[in-house]
Amino acid sequence: MYGSGKLSTNAKRQATGFLFVLPAFLIFLIFLIYPIGFTFYLSFTKWMGFKFSEIKFVGLTNFVNLFQDRIFWRALKNTIIYVGATTLFLNILGLSFALIIDSKVRGSRVCKVIYFLPVVMCPVVIGIMWSRLLDPFGFVNQLLGRVGLERLTHPWLGEAKYALFAVVLATVWQWMAYDMVIYYAGLQDIPVELHEVASLDGASYWQRLRYVTLPLLRPVTTVIVLLNLIGGIKVFDIIFVMTGGGPNYHSEVLSTYLYSQGFTYNFMGYASAIGVIIVLLSFATAYFRLRVSYEAV
């Protein structure tokens, strides 16, 4: 009798806990699991996006066409370049500014606020602002002209070799402080005693940074790099606003190509295949990054 009463109490507790979790679970199921599953299903179909009765199963046709599509390969290449460049510069600058602020220089508190302002701004606003700055008659070209560097002026968003890197510049400017804040929080968890002992042993600032700070920041770095990688893979808004994937697809990335195929040309099955590639690429990147981090520990 005692055992059955205890079992009944545990069952009630589990049922109560499940009821508390149920709303969040339903939201997760409806707005994440179902869309991902439906996207995987649509990737094997041909559909114009209007009536569900018009969905036609075509097997692997969308993926075969996708891998023969030169624009898809260009978008994939641009995505890899964008992800690599933004991840590199965001981490270097984020860590650098975190170290500067952590050094408690005068005015560092004000600098934290100023640096973080772009993070709270909408990426669409950032895209419009930088589009105006990099306009052929915008502030950047006017400044270069006034200091005697007219030869360096360009239609930055209109030239194939500069468009993608102009978007990288805008992205780094916006999100650098996000990485800085996380790195700064990680620096606060490093015991001051470790730096003091290293100083007493004759270690220079750069030696303390290399052998004390960076190794202890490895878990933080793993999280930041992972966020940067996945964020770069699924980037859409700032590129769509600044270049729209142009000129001539030279700043096209997977997300903007998905948008054009799905919502401009109504090739929902083909767009879903691109979405599947983005999901798989994100999972593969996350798995590889975490595995490298665990093996390095």
Per-residue pLDDT of the chain (297 residues; tens, 9 = 90+): 445 555 567 777 788 888 888 999 999 999 989 999 999 999 999 999 888 889 999 999 999 999 999 999 999 999 999 999 999 999 999 999 999 888 876 766 777 778 888 998 988 999 999 999 999 889 999 999 999 888 888 889 999 889 999 999 999 999 999 999 999 999 998 888 888 888 888 888 889 889 889 999 998 999 999 999 999 999 999 999 999 998 999 999 999 999 999 999 999 999 999 999 999 999 999 888 878 766 655
pLDDT value at residue 269: 96
Residues 233 and 278: beta-carbon distance below 8 Å: yes
Please give the pLDDT value at position 294.
66
> What does the buried/exposed string (b/e) look like for 227-259 if buried means 16 or more CB atoms within 10 Å of the residue's CB?
bbbbbbbbbeebbbbbbebbbebbbbbbbbbbb
**How far is 293 from 244, CA to CA, in rounded Å?**
35
The predicted structure's pLDDT at residue 51: 87
What is the model's pTM?
0.89
Domains of the chain: 70-122+160-296 (1.10.3720.10)
> What is the Cα–Cα distance from 189 to 186, expressed in whole angstroms?
5
Q: What are phi and psi of 244, to 5 degrees?
A: 65, 20
